[in-house]
Amino acid sequence: MDNNNTPHGVREKFIEVANRKKILAHRCAKCGHTMLETVMFCEKCSASKFEDVELEGAGTVVTYTIQAVAPAGFEDAGSYAWVVFKINNANIRASGFLPGIKEPKDLPVGAKVKVAGFDQHHGLLLEKA
Ligand SMILES: [Zn+2]
């Protein structure tokens, strides 16, 4: 664990945390505001010092887009949705990939989703909770 301060290290850690079905986020060391780990400067006070926090890998669907054609590596998944969800117990939105969604009735807004893992090419992999 000697490279956690490099951008590569952050990504590796995000993946490691996602594979434990949680979401890595940043908490501002100055004001305590919690943000996605991709944010470089605090949204509230512009400070750039953060500590890592692990958020619950579950949330509520805010919006999503159904994709009829699966991207490379997901040909076997059929249609899927890119989902934006609000993380439980945090005022943060994250996005991920949810296979097997063909039409809006398959995924009502407000549905519960959880992190199932991480795909190297496509990011967070979700499943219905
Ligand atoms: Zn701050």
Grade residue 39 by pLDDT with cuts at 50, 70 and 90. confident
The proportion of the chain whose per-residue pLDDT surpasses 70, expressed as a percent, equals 88
| DSSP assigned state of 30 | T
The model's pLDDT over 70-116, given as tens digits with 9 standing for 90+, comes to 666 666 667 889 999 999 999 899 999 998 898 899 999 999 999 99
Say how far apart CA 34 and CA 128 lie, in whole Å. Answer: 25
Intra-chain end-to-end CA distance of the chain, in Å: 32
- Cα(53) to centroid(ligand 1), Å: 14
Statement: residue 3 has pLDDT above 50: no
- Cα(25) to centroid(ligand 1), Å: 13
Say how far apart CA 31 and CA 99 lie, in whole Å. Answer: 37
Q: What burial class does residue 96 get, using C-beta atoms within 10 Å of its C-beta: 0-12 exposed, 13-18 middle, 19+ buried?
A: buried
CA distances from 80 to 31, 64, 69, 97, 126 (A): 38, 10, 8, 7, 10
The domains found in the chain, sorted by start residue, are 7-56 (no CATH), 58-128 (2.40.50)
Give me the residues near ligand 1 (ion), CB cutoff below 5 Å.
Answer: 28, 30-31, 33, 42, 44-45, 47
Arithmetic mean of pLDDT over the chain: 88
- Cα(17) to centroid(ligand 1), Å: 23
- Cα(41) to centroid(ligand 1), Å: 8
